[in-house]
Chains A and B, each alone.
Chain A
Amino acid sequence: MAADQKQRFLNGVQNGSSLSVRRKSALDAFRGMQFPTTKTEEWRFTNLRNFLQIPFEPAPEARLSLDELNAVEFADLGFPRAVFVNGRYAPNLSNAEEADGVSTAPLNEDAELGSADESKSDIFDALNAALASEGVVVRAAPGKAVETPLHLVYLTTPADEPAACHPRTLIAAGESSQLTVIESHLCLDGSNGAPYFTNPVTEIVCQRGAVVDHYKLQAEAEGAFHIGSTRSRQERDSSFATHTITLGAGLLRNNLTATLDGPGASATLHAFYLATGNQHVDHFTTLVHARENCNSREVYKGVLDDASRAVFHGRILVKQDAQDTDSYQQNENLLLTKKARVNTKPQLEIYADQVKCSHGATVGELDEEALFYLQSRCIGGPAARSLLIYAFASEVIDQVKPEPLRSKLQDELFAWLPEGAAAREAF
């Protein structure tokens, strides 16, 4: 079964000398690896059995009008965009060149297809490196503060056959530059079409003193499988924040590896996930403190309704050279039903001796005392519950800086919450 899937993914891939060195090496790496099972430690709680049975083919080409695009929730935030439809760059929908101080370009395979080493450790990463058809490189020039966020839209259209795409993004922030990038994974007409597979890889490099604010928003169809990786590497005194907002997809796995590779760097890893129905969302994070005087703050918060399931794995590795590390990790889960489930696991490996590292995890229901307090202040029923659910999410949502994105998220949440309009009064 797994072997069939491997072969299917490689259908139509050329062999031989026409491939770039990196792509070829990724292809070899992919061939040499196996898809994980629940016996694989990192995948214990996420079962790919269903995924492996679906005959995914390369996503077909599709054309879209601007109006169709803008009708998709979250697609139109009013920022310059680079739009990819089924993995292909759509120039008619894109205006990224209007972004001042930032350049976007297609991937140059040899230079920019990621480091082969990293692709060798994860089969999906290798698959992306082998098959990424088109991708984008976003560069902020040294010293340039880019004021307007850049919006990268990865859109899938409904298809009759199961389809896969492997988008690749490289964000390179030059020395002392400042940049905001929103990476959205969306779908057109989410209720229709065959299941599909999105396998994105995003690499972010923050050079000395760069400030990068990154958002990964995922609001895909119920039938979507989303298995992706985000990797950041930070040089001295840089500041990187990534906000993972997970709303859609039937099965999601987000791997995030943030490496603090220069003294004085700081990283913020925030996430909010909302899972309903039978959704399965798995966030696997690795924070690497490689150098001294760095700090990191990781806050993952999830709301789980119906029979959904969430997995959080938060690994923090503090290397021997990373003295005076200050690291904080928190994973909080709110279960709205008896059927919803969570597996949460912190994993701290500390090899330096002067380190401040704290972590915590909670899994709980809505606070009855708080509900009664609200009732005694005239706010009862679903509105009281909704108010508390949003209050829980707000710690992450409030940190979303681009206003159009923040208010769209609020709209989305309050529209989903019962009597959300009444609850919204309190915010």
Chain B
Amino acid sequence: MLEIKELWAGVDGAPILKGLSLAVNAGEVHSIMGPNGSGKSTLAHVLAGKEEYEATAGSVQYLGQDLLEMAPEERACEGVFLAFQYPVSIPGVSNTYFLKAAINAKRKYNGDQEIDAFEFMQLVKDKSKALNIDTALLNRPVNDGFSGGEKKRNEIFQMAMLDPRLAIMDETDSGLDIDALKVVADGINSLRGNGRGFIVITHYQRLLNYIVPDYVHVLNDGKIVRSGGKELAEELEEKGYSWLTERDDAHGG
């Protein structure tokens, strides 16, 4: 569903991704790991279409379309979902109505009828129950005053509501305690299947104790330097990143 070929991208003319290639097929879970500054978040933002990240070479095909040519909202309407590392708070907008507007924007784009109030509330009820989301969270303004764990949980809830084809999780595990991590991981696991593709970006192996990926890739200096199965994550946990980063001054992890 997603094919990235020799992608170069950066900010203000400074390249961060330097010839990255990656293919994700329907239903696969790919984990991208790598040290700080390797370009993990850049990859997430380039795929979601953040303006200041500019792709200078290479291509990204998504379901047969040129993803880089699409506006961020078009990508979202076509089923690309980014779970933010730092979800933005929007005071004055309730979480629930925000999602209703989002779902209807998506439906409108796809030429579908608007969701009716009853159907929407039923969806909210089902998804919040399945993900064990506190309904009090739903009536609060989007991410406003949420704890770190609440924000990440809310991202998972939004993902469930928007039912994406390709979900990109940008360090969804960062800053979470083990209980919150489990909740987030359970959420992701419950959304696996149905041909949904995942790119799970993480710095730490521990998330992968709960989400077992089909593939693990190590990103360093803007390129994938090693790919393997879930055992690669375990190897990284043991040895750190330095043995893969080919830098003379690197020691241990």
The 9 closest A-B pairs by CB, nearest first: A380-B73, A391-B92, A425-B101, A375-B72, A426-B101, A373-B88, A394-B92, A378-B105, A377-B102
11 A-B pairs, CB-CB below 8 angstroms?
A: A370-B90, A372-B50, A372-B88, A373-B87, A376-B75, A376-B76, A377-B98, A379-B101, A422-B105, A425-B101, A427-B93
Across-interface contacts of B75 in A (CB, < 8 A)? 376
Confirm or deny: A384 has a beta carbon within 8 angstroms of a beta carbon on chain B: yes
- Min Cβ gap B9→A in Å is 16
B interface majority secondary structure: helix
Q: Contacts A377-B102, A427-B94 given; 15 further ones with Cβ under 8 A?
A: A367-B88, A369-B88, A370-B90, A372-B50, A372-B88, A378-B73, A378-B102, A380-B72, A387-B93, A391-B92, A391-B93, A422-B101, A422-B108, A426-B97, A427-B93
Give B contacts to A, CB under 8 Å.
48-51, 71-77, 81-82, 84, 87-88, 90-94, 97-106, 108-109, 158, 162
What is the CA–CA distance of A384 and B93 in the complex, to the nearest angstrom?
12
Are the C-beta atoms of A376 and B97 separated by less than 8 Å?
no
What is the CA–CA distance of A395 and B72 in the complex, to the nearest angstrom?
28
Confirm or deny: A106 has a beta carbon within 8 angstroms of a beta carbon on chain B: no
Q: How large is the interface on A (under 10, 10 to 19, 20 to 34, 35 or more residues)?
A: 20 to 34
Are the C-beta atoms of B72 and A427 separated by less than 8 Å?
no
Across-interface contacts of A392 in B (CB, < 8 A)? 92
- Min Cβ gap A222→B in Å is 29
Q: Which residue of A lies closest to B103 (CB)?
A: A378
Among A384, A395, A425, find the residue whose CB has the most chain B CB atoms closer than 10 A. A425
Confirm or deny: A388 has a beta carbon within 8 angstroms of a beta carbon on chain B: yes
Are the C-beta atoms of A426 and B98 separated by less than 8 Å?
yes
**Of B97, B109, B158, the contact of A425 (CB 8 Å cutoff):** B97
Are the C-beta atoms of A387 and B101 separated by less than 8 Å?
yes
**Of A375, A381, A426, the contact of B93 (CB 8 Å cutoff):** A426
What is the CA–CA distance of A380 and B108 in the complex, to the nearest angstrom?
12
**Of A367, A372, A395, the contact of B92 (CB 8 Å cutoff):** A395
Confirm or deny: A312 has a beta carbon within 8 angstroms of a beta carbon on chain B: no
Are the C-beta atoms of A380 and B74 separated by less than 8 Å?
yes
Are the C-beta atoms of B97 and A373 separated by less than 8 Å?
no
Across-interface contacts of A383 in B (CB, < 8 A)? 101, 105
Across-interface contacts of A388 in B (CB, < 8 A)? 90
Are the C-beta atoms of A376 and B105 separated by less than 8 Å?
no
- Min Cβ gap B165→A in Å is 13
Are the C-beta atoms of A378 and B109 separated by less than 8 Å?
yes
Confirm or deny: A56 has a beta carbon within 8 angstroms of a beta carbon on chain B: no
Are the C-beta atoms of B102 and A379 separated by less than 8 Å?
yes
Across-interface contacts of A398 in B (CB, < 8 A)? 92
What is the CA–CA distance of A373 and B49 in the complex, to the nearest angstrom?
11
- Min Cβ gap B42→A in Å is 14
- Min Cβ gap B152→A in Å is 14
